[in-house]
C-alpha cells in the first residue's frame, strides 16, 4: 500500500516536472482518439447501410389477373415449402396500387387510369441474399425442353432485385474497404506518434533512470511510476477527446440524423461503449508505450 | 587468503586483527573493452573491512573500470570479483540491485536526481530498499545533519554549490549504512578547501566502520591522508602500500609529512590536514565529530 502510494506520487511528480513533454503526449493522444472516435462510427454506419440494402433484397412473383383465390392459396403453400424462404407476403392488385400512390408525389397521375394495371404479387424474402438464386430456380424449374418454366400457370413472371442490390452492395463494400484501410493506417501512424512522443519524454530523463539503477533500484521500481504517468496521460488525452466527440455528437450529428437516412443509422452505434473502449485503449497504449520505451534505458 | 600482490610491502592487515575474509577481493581480474582497449589486466587485490584505500594513477589506467566492476556496471572478462566473499561477476541480473544497495557509491559528477530536493534524493536510496516512512523520516535528516546540509534539505540540486551537491551524493551513498562505500574522484570538481570537507566526511564514515575506497587524482589530499595507496598503470597494479604517498618519488624525497596515526579522530584529522595544506578552517559546516 505504501508502495502504491509512492508510485502514484512519483508519477505525479514526473508529470509536474516534465510539463512540456507531457502536454505533447496528451495532445497526440487527443488527436488519435478523435480520429478513431470519428472513423469507427463512420465504418459502423457503412456496415449498417450495407446490411440494410442486403435486407431489402427480395423476389417478386407476379401473377396473372385471372388467378382464382384457390390457385393463389395453393401457390402460397408451394412457395412456403421452398427452402431458404424467410418470409412471404401477398400483395393484391389494390394494395399494389395504394403502394404506388404513396410513392408518387402527384396522386392525380393515377386518376387518369381507368383500370388498375398493376398485377398481384408475392414478395419473398430469402433467409440470406446468397440464396436468392436457389429460390429463383426452385420457382422456375426447367421443363422437358430445358427451358425455365414457372411452377404454376398463374405465375406471369419471377423477378428479383438482385442486380440493383448487388450494385449497392459493391459500392458500400468498396467504401468499407477504403475506410478500413484509412482507419488502419491512421491507427498505426498515431500509435507510432504516441510512442515517439513518450520516447522523447523518457529520453529527456534517461540520466535519471541511469542514476536510479546505480542507486540500486530494481527495474520495476523505476518502471511503475512511468506506467502510472502513462495511464494518467492516456486518461487525460482520452477524456479531452471524448468530451470533444460528445460535443460534436450533440451539436452536429444528432440534429442531422433527424433529416438524413444515412446518418440515422448512427442510432445503431452506442456512444457509451465507444467512449469506454476509446478511453481504456488510450490508457493502455500510453502505459504500455511508457513501459516498453523504458526498457532501452534500463540496461545499466 | 593467499593472494598474490605485485607489491613491495604487504598491505594492511585487517584493522580488527582477526583474519576474516576481505570485503573486496579481486582474483586475476581482466576486463577488455570491445575494440580491444584493456581496462584491467589480471588484477588481484584484497581490501579488508574498515580499510580506507586510495586508488591512484593516470587517466585511463583502469581506476574507473575497477569501480564499475565493483557495482557490476561492467562484468569482468576473466577472473573473479568478490564482495563479502561472493563472486559478483556471475551475479544474475536480477540480483544486481541488491548488490548496489549494499555498496554506496559517490560519483565525480554527483549523479543527483535533478527533479528532487536534497531530502528526496537521499530518501530515494531508502525508498529503493523498501524503507518505511518512519525510517525515512528518521534517517534522512540524521544523515543530512552528518554531512552538514541540515539547512538545505528542501533545495534542488541546481541550487547548491558543487561541494554541497557532493555532500548530498555522500549522504545518499551512506544513508542506509552500507558496509562498503566507493568514491570515484569525489573531489575532482572541487576546490581544495571544499575537498577537505568531503574527505573529512568520508573519513568520518570510515571511522564509523564502513570500508571506503576512493579513486583520486588529488595528489596533495592523498599525501596528507596517508592511508593505503594502490597505484595503477595501464590496467595493472604497480604499487600497493599502507600509509603511503601519491607517488614513490615523493616518499623517497622525504617530505615533511608526518605519518598519520591510524586511529586519529575526524576532528584531529581535519585540523592536521588543514594545517598541512595551509588552508583556514572552512567554518563549522559539520556539527560535531562522529
pLDDT in tens, A81-133: 888 888 888 888 888 888 887 877 776 777 777 778 888 888 888 887 777 77
The position carrying cell 444515412 is A262
Q: Give residue A25's pLDDT.
A: 82
Q: Give residue A12's pLDDT.
A: 87
Q: How far is Cα B276 from Cα B268, in angstroms, rounded to an integer?
A: 12
CB-nearest to B105 from A212, A214, A217 is A214
The alpha carbon of residue A123 and the mean position of all alpha carbons in its chain are separated, in whole angstroms, by 29
**Contact state of A216 with B130 under an 8 Å Cβ cutoff:** no
Q: Give residue A190's pLDDT.
A: 74
Give the Cβ contact number of residue B188 at 10 Å: 17
Q: Give residue B262's pLDDT.
A: 59
Q: Give residue A257's pLDDT.
A: 66
- The answer on pLDDT for B160 being more than 90 is yes
Enumerate the residues of chain B whose CB falls inside 8 A of the CB of residue A213. 97, 100
Compute the average pLDDT of residues B249-266.
56
By the 8 A CB rule, do B7 and B173 touch? no
Q: Among A274-283, B14-23, B111-120, which range has the highest average pLDDT?
A: B111-120
Q: How far is Cα B229 from Cα A83, in angstroms, rounded to an integer?
A: 100
For chain B, say whether A1 makes contact (Cβ under 8 Å).
no
Q: Which of A215, A219, A222 to mutate to test the interface with B (most CBs of B within 10 A)?
A: A215
**Contacts with B188 (C-beta within 8 Å, 6 or more apart), sequence order:** B108, B216, B217, B218
Q: A175 vs chain B: nearest CA distance in angstroms?
A: 52
By the 8 A CB rule, do B170 and B182 touch? no
Compute the average pLDDT of residues B79-89.
90
Compute the average pLDDT of residues B251-278.
64
Compute the average pLDDT of residues B251-268.
58
Q: Give residue B7's pLDDT.
A: 43
CB-nearest to A216 from B94, B100, B114 is B100
B102: nearest CA in chain A?
Answer: A216
Compute the average pLDDT of residues B186-211.
89
Enumerate the residues of chain A whose CB falls inside 8 A of the CB of residue B73. 214, 300
**Contact state of A216 with B132 under an 8 Å Cβ cutoff:** no
A1: nearest CA in chain B?
Answer: B132
Prediction pTM value: 0.68
**Contact state of B111 with A212 under an 8 Å Cβ cutoff:** no
The set of cell numbers assigned to A206 is 534517461
Q: What residues of chain A score a pLDDT lower than 50?
A: 262-266, 268
Q: How far is Cα A139 from Cα A153, in angstroms, rounded to an integer?
A: 12
**Contact state of B97 with A218 under an 8 Å Cβ cutoff:** yes
**Contact state of B125 with A216 under an 8 Å Cβ cutoff:** yes
**Contacts with B53 (C-beta within 8 Å, 6 or more apart), sequence order:** B47, B211, B212, B213, B214, B227, B228, B229, B230
Enumerate the residues of chain B whose CB falls inside 8 A of the CB of residue A18. 115
Supply the DSSP symbol for B189.
T
By the 8 A CB rule, do B282 and B192 touch? no
CB-nearest to A211 from B97, B99, B111 is B111
Q: Give residue A269's pLDDT.
A: 58
Distances (CA, A) of B34 to A123, A274, B77, B88, B93: 82, 53, 11, 21, 20
Give which of A272, A283, A265 is closest to A246, Cα–Cα: A272
By the 8 A CB rule, do B52 and B115 touch? no
Predicted confidence band at B180 (pLDDT cuts at 50, 70, 90)? very high
**Contact state of A208 with B114 under an 8 Å Cβ cutoff:** yes
For chain B, say whether A300 makes contact (Cβ under 8 Å).
yes
By the 8 A CB rule, do A172 and A49 touch? yes
Compute the average pLDDT of residues B129-147.
91
Compute the average pLDDT of residues B193-199.
88
Q: How far is Cα A10 from Cα B13, in angstroms, rounded to an integer?
A: 46
- The answer on pLDDT for B6 being more than 70 is no
Amino acid at each position: 500500500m505504501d508502495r502504491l502510494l509512492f508510485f502514484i506520487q512519483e508519477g505525479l511528480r514526473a508529470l509536474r516536472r516534465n510539463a512540456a513533454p507531457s502536454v505533447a503526449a496528451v495532445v497526440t493522444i487527443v488527436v488519435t482518439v478523435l480520429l478513431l472516435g470519428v472513423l469507427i462510427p463512420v465504418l459502423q454506419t457503412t456496415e449498417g447501410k450495407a446490411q440494410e440494402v442486403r435486407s431489402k433484397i427480395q423476389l417478386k412473383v407476379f401473377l396473372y389477373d385471372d388467378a382464382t383465390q384457390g390457385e393463389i392459396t395453393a401457390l402460397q403453400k408451394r412457395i412456403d415449402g421452398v427452402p431458404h424462404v424467410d418470409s412471404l407476403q401477398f400483395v393484391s392488385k389494390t394494395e399494389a396500387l395504394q403502394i404506388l400512390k404513396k410513392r408518387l408525389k402527384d396522386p392525380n397521375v393515377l386518376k387518369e387510369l381507368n383500370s388498375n394495371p398493376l398485377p398481384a404479387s408475392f414478395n419473398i424474402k430469402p433467409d440470406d441474399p446468397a440464396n436468392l438464386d436457389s429460390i429463383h430456380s426452385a420457382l422456375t424449374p426447367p421443363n422437358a425442353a430445358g427451358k425455365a418454366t414457372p411452377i404454376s400457370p398463374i405465375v406471369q413472371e419471377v423477378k428479383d432485385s438482385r442486380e440493383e442490390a448487388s450494385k449497392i452492395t459493391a459500392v458500400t463494400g468498396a467504401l468499407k474497404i477504403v475506410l478500413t484501410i484509412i482507419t488502419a493506417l491512421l491507427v498505426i501512424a498515431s500509435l507510432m506518434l504516441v510512442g515517439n512522443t513518450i520516447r522523447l519524454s523518457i529520453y529527456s530523463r534517461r540520466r535519471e533512470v541511469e542514476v536510479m539503477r546505480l542507486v540500486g533500484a530494481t527495474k520495476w521500481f523505476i518502471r511503475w511510476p512511468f506506467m502510472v504517468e502513462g495511464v494518467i496521460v492516456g486518461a487525460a488525452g482520452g477524456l479531452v477527446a471524448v468530451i470533444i466527440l460528445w460535443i460534436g455528437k450533440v451539436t452536429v450529428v444528432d440534429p442531422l440524423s433527424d433529416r438524413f437516412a444515412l446518418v440515422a443509422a448512427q442510432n445503431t452505434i452506442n456512444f457509451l461503449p465507444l467512449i469506454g473502449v476509446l478511453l481504456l485503449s488510450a490508457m493502455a497504449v500510453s502505459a504500455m508505450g511508457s513501459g516498453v520505451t523504458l526498457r532501452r534505458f534500463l540496461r545499466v | 587468503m593467499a593472494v598474490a600482490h605485485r607489491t613491495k610491502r604487504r598491505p594492511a592487515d585487517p584493522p580488527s586483527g582477526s583474519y576474516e575474509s576481505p570485503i573486496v577481493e579481486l582474483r586475476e581480474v581482466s576486463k577488455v573493452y570491445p575494440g580491444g582497449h584493456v581496462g584491467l589486466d589480471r588484477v588481484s587485490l584484497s581490501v579488508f573491512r574498515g580499510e580506507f584505500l586510495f586508488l591512484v594513477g593516470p587517466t585511463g589506467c583502469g581506476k574507473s573500470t575497477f569501480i564499475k566492476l565493483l557495482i557490476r556496471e561492467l562484468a569482468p572478462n576473466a577472473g573473479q570479483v568478490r564482495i563479502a566473499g561472493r563472486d559478483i561477476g556471475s551475479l544474475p541480473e536480477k540480483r544486481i540491485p541488491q548488490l548496489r544497495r549494499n555498496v554506496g557509491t559517490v560519483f565525480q559528477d554527483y549523479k543527483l536526481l535533478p527533479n528532487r530536493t536534497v531530502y528526496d534524493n537521499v530518501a530515494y536510496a531508502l525508498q529503493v530498499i523498501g524503507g518505511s516512512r518512519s525510517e525515512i523520516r528518521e534517517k534522512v535528516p540524521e544523515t543530512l545533519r552528518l554531512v552538514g546540509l541540515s539547512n538545505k534539505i528542501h533545495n534542488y540540486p541546481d541550487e547548491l554549490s558543487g561541494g554541497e551537491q557532493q555532500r548530498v551524493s555522500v549522504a545518499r551513498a551512506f544513508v542506509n549504512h552500507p558496509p562498503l562505500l566507493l568514491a570515484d574522484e569525489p573531489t575532482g570538481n572541487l576546490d581544495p578547501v571544499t575537498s577537505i570537507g568531503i574527505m573529512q566526511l568520508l573519513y568520518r564514515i570510515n571511522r564509523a566502520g564502513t570500508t571506503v575506497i576512493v579513486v583520486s587524482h588529488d595528489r596533495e589530499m592523498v599525501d596528507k591522508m596517508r592511508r593505503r595507496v594502490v597505484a595503477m598503470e595501464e590496467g595493472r597494479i604497480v604499487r600497493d602500500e599502507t600509509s603511503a604517498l601519491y607517488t614513490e618519488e615523493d616518499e623517497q624525497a622525504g617530505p615533511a609529512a608526518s605519518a598519520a596515526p591510524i586511529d586519529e579522530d575526524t576532528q584531529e584529522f581535519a585540523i592536521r590536514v588543514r594545517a598541512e595544506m595551509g588552508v583556514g578552517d572552512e567554518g563549522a559546516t559539520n556539527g560535531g565529530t562522529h
